[in-house]
Structure 1
């Protein structure tokens, strides 16, 4: 060892120790947040969060905001919009939920999960203010700040500290009284609205649309997906009320062409300022093409009100950087294992369509685990035509529906001969992989994000989790579409250790 090398070693050791200290501090902060009422204990209020950010000097006003709500597609649309904004040269923050494996994933700074150091430091700085609001709420006879309320405040503090130029905020639930709504979006994005969280948001699409329309602020631009007529009427009324400009898919912009391609799909979008032809989006599923079109137009509106076209370079770089973990995510090969967070019938319908069109799969072995209160029967009914067998299990979440109870719903839809119950998640996954391998088929894991996170952790521990750079290729080896012959996608000719 040279003197120079020896001199560098303490610095390396110091960095390792600092990293461990930051990780421990972040874990301590997360545990403190978890002591609050969980995400299932939603408080239909916004003033508590508003008071907390007010005490902090309104950090959410230090950057511009692109705000996203809807029933399905929020997370993917947020990630696509973020990638396009970063390609434009802006420093971005993203707030999304829930996370797959680590809570840091919920706050992205320039496309990467927030560091342990920033997570812990910002939590320590806001903790006294959270406690002050807790005390004020207690005097009023109200519950102290919930996990999601406190976490939203933390996210705003992290983004202001970074600092970021623009924040892409995914609504947690609804919109009107969601904690993220203390921020005022320059652009509000509304993904498709369907029935979900009916106990909190209302029993009709119209009622749910009313809650989600609450993120539309005065003079904002609203970019909406295709909606059911009753939902669109609500959005139109809200936009007119506050003087917002409403742009609707199919009326003001459109996804005019969409086709399967190696590595994802090609889309052509008639935007606000230009037509964007044959853009390669590295995501599977027709619904992801619609999400990409929605995100593209939202960013087009955000950058210049829709008056200036986006450059070919920004689009190519932005779309190339897009990922959507847990959404038609190919996490394993031999057999193929696909993870998708289809937690309601609308999402399950999109999943079923994608399995055939993008993966060439007609039958699969399903691993299913859902959270209590979800429409598991509706999910199973949508997927029934492609299910050979379902292995019912449950995730580590305290909200997970008991596997035996879920099995009863599965039997009612599929019949007893197609249902296997394995309460131990690891056993359930390996049972499904063995069954798929015997049939020469594939495994689909779905039902909840917490289930997907647990399965990805299991796959990593047991050594069959594909690296991110191998996942797109593993997905496309299933394709056998004539129009793909001779197509040279971005990964053409690439080789990976997993595939060798």
Structure 2
């Protein structure tokens, strides 16, 4: 380790409060700083006693839908009286959301305890490796150890980015789930679905049961080749499972899902959009694959009725309606647009956009354009956020000058957008039917959720 790297490495110390644990974790390499190796996380989990081997694992990768699908799998498993751990990322509002046990995020005391349980071992890994443990690697180790300590029957684990080199990949999934693959994080994962699929295919391990959501042909070819290479088994959406029917309903949609062992008719899913119905079918197949049998119809119905997915087409305020969605790439924005058209009749719909600078901003804006009467562009609090002037310039090329305004802060942007939505008459539509969509990034949505106080 170089002197510079040693100086950067935070000292191991127990935390007394959530804020101290959070500060210690954030002092490590951020999630955007990657060094493709499993050496550090392997060394870390070995010192912890390889906790990830003490329970069954459902491992999820893909470009969009991972968190929603993870939450659905978790809910179904708990309905089967299995104790669950769930690891998802990034968090919407609070870091502790990433580690849940029995469906609930760790409270502050449990999060501090989980940090302190591994803190001394982080120092040992830092001293032994060429690079220190990152923030993400440390939180993954915390999660795996907390799950073993609980103990859980099954861990539902979402990758952070990619698959092969993701820190979660020291766990071997009994079931490996791949949600739809599209281009995102191109600088890290590649610029085509096939290239990205190569990295994501790394979570498919020998003997695993693989659940594939619908994929582009080039991505599917890569994934199926990996299945054959490692001797896994596979089921695919549209062949072995899928959405039979769906219809919008008040507060969500009614879906009929075909699983691996049975068809489950007319289930209420309190989430919006065809993409969430697809996620539900994938989650159902993954759960059936893990338990190896048909599920009781009433259990499935009750579980899906309880599903939530914060920051995914989430209504947090009325008069005017304010909706949050964490879409941050063109594929996610297109799914969001289809869901808006499918489930709502907002007019006008005013967008509030704050986007990370490393995203396909032009593609994102183009996907939003048909659905938004006007956009207020701003930035979120992170250094990665595109500046207001840069985002405004790109937005004007897509929306035109008259449909773009700017605001220096997210709070001011939401206020501007709400005023425009309420004054729909000025845009040539009836007063009282307008709404605001806050989108462009998980961070943007999380900050908006804090500003607005969550669902009402």
Q: Which TM-score band (shorter chain)?
A: over 0.9
Residue matched to 1:246: 234
Q: TM-score, normalised by structure 2?
A: 0.93
Residue matched to 1:44: 36
Q: Which of the pair has more CA radius of gyration?
A: 1
Query: Alignment RMSD, CA only?
Result: 1.3
Residue matched to 1:9: none
Q: Is the 8 A contact 1:63 1:166 kept in 2?
A: yes
Q: Does 1:127 align with 2:119?
A: yes
Residues 24, 433 of structure 1: alpha-carbon distance in 2 compared, 3 angstrom cutoff: farther
Q: Does 1:449 align with 2:434?
A: no
Residue matched to 1:493: none
Q: Distance in 1 between matches of 2:284 and 2:455?
A: 29
Summarize deviations over 1:449-485 as a string: whole Å, max 9, x none: 111111111112xxxx533xxxxxxxxxxxxxxxxxx
Q: Distance in 2 between matches of 1:116 and 1:255?
A: 39
Q: Is the 8 A contact 1:193 1:208 kept in 2?
A: yes
Q: Does 1:343 align with 2:328?
A: yes
Q: Does 1:101 align with 2:89?
A: no
Residue matched to 1:466: 455
Q: Distance in 2 between matches of 1:187 and 1:347?
A: 24
Q: Distance in 1 between matches of 2:63 and 2:339?
A: 19
Paired positions, count: 435
Residue matched to 1:324: 309
Q: Is the 8 A contact 1:363 1:386 kept in 2?
A: no
Q: Does 1:421 align with 2:406?
A: yes
Residue matched to 2:172: 184
Residue matched to 2:378: 393
Alpha-carbon shift at residue 43 of structure 1 (Å): 2.1
Secondary structure of 1:99's aligned partner: coil
Map 1:260-279 onto structure 2 (within 5 A).
260-279=248-267
Which residue, out of 26, 29, 47, partners 1:34?
A: 26
Residue matched to 1:333: 318
Summarize deviations over 1:423-447 as a string: whole Å, max 9, x none: 1111111111111011131100000
Residue matched to 2:11: none
Of residues 23-32 and 76-85 in structure 1, the stretch that sits farther from structure 2 once superposed is 23-32
Summarize deviations over 1:242-264 as a string: whole Å, max 9, x none: 11011110112221111112221
Secondary structure of 2:411's aligned partner: helix
Residue matched to 2:7: none
Residue matched to 2:365: 380
Secondary structure of 2:164's aligned partner: coil
Of residues 23-32 and 142-151 in structure 1, the stretch that sits farther from structure 2 once superposed is 23-32
Which residue, out of 275, 284, 290, partners 1:296?
A: 284
Q: Distance in 1 between matches of 2:449 and 2:260?
A: 39
Secondary structure of 1:97's aligned partner: coil
Q: Is the 8 A contact 2:15 2:115 kept in 1?
A: no
Secondary structure of 2:423's aligned partner: helix
Secondary structure of 2:254's aligned partner: strand
Q: Is the 8 A contact 1:395 1:425 kept in 2?
A: yes
Residue matched to 1:4: none
Q: Is the 8 A contact 2:396 2:403 kept in 1?
A: yes
Residue matched to 1:83: 75
Q: Distance in 1 between matches of 2:221 and 2:158?
A: 23
Residues 363, 386 of structure 1: alpha-carbon distance in 2 compared, 3 angstrom cutoff: farther
Q: Distance in 2 between matches of 1:290 and 1:438?
A: 36
Q: Where does structure 1 lack aligned partners over 5 or more consecutive residues?
A: 1-21, 468-500
Q: TM-score, normalised by structure 1?
A: 0.85
Residue matched to 1:203: 191
